[in-house]
Amino acid sequence: MNDVDESADAPESEPAGFEPAGFEPAAAASHVFEYGVDGPKVILTGIDGSDSAWRAAAYAAGLSRRQGSLLVLVYVQPLATAAWGQAGISLVETGKEIADELLAYIQKSSEGREAIRWEFRTATGDPYNGLVAVADELRADAIVVGASEHAGHRMFGSVAVRLVKAGRWPVTVVP
């Protein structure tokens, strides 16, 4: 016979019908916040050719590789309006050239590396709205952006600050 009291090691059970304070089973069941998978499926990063954007892309690539996520690299081309006249046409052509150069650089950089599922997308407009549109379309799970290198953004707000304030995705800002 064993004289040890085994009930001392058993976890204490909660009284019947006990729920934590503020717990509402109907509300918990109706609020679906994930689709039954662990980790992010789509990580989106904005690129514009700046050093901080490339650092953000490298960070996002590492996350994507470790999580087995799709990495979506997005370049947002400035919107040319009729008010820009002939300059607007050259701006559109320049935006396409930049996008082509970014894609070529990404393809070259990804050769011979571990397989990371990635795709390159372009959007048109201001960077914030372009990233939001692609993130919504793809149901992105996270966004990674580089810190702004423009002094004016300290006063008027950067794309990163606007994304964080939107509160719709986890946002990582890479310096």
Average pLDDT, whole number, for the chain?
Answer: 75
Task: Tell which wins on pLDDT, 167 or 92.
Answer: 167
- Answer yes or no: are the C-beta atoms of 60 and 141 closer than 8 Å: no
Q: Which residues 6+ apart lie within 8 Å of 51 measured at CB?
A: 146, 149
Q: Which residues of 76-114 are buried (b: 16+ CB within 10 A; e: fewer)?
A: bbbbbeeeeeeeeeebbeebeebbeebeeebeeeeeeee
**Whole-number percent of the chain with pLDDT over 90:** 34
CA separation for the pair 151, 21 (Å, rounded):
47
The SS3 assignment for 75 reads strand
Instruction: State both tokens at 117.
Output: 């599922």
Nearest to 121 by CA among 50, 72, 160, 62: 72
Q: What is the pLDDT of residues 64-90, one digit of tens each?
A: 989 999 999 999 987 754 444 454 455
Q: What is the pLDDT of residues 101-115, one digit of tens each?
A: 776 777 677 666 667
Q: pLDDT band for position 173 (50/70/90)? A: very high
Q: pLDDT band for position 151 (50/70/90)? A: low
Strand order in the sheet with 171-174: 118-124, 70-77, 42-46, 142-146, 171-174
CA separation for the pair 141, 117 (Å, rounded):
15
The SS3 assignment for 71 reads strand
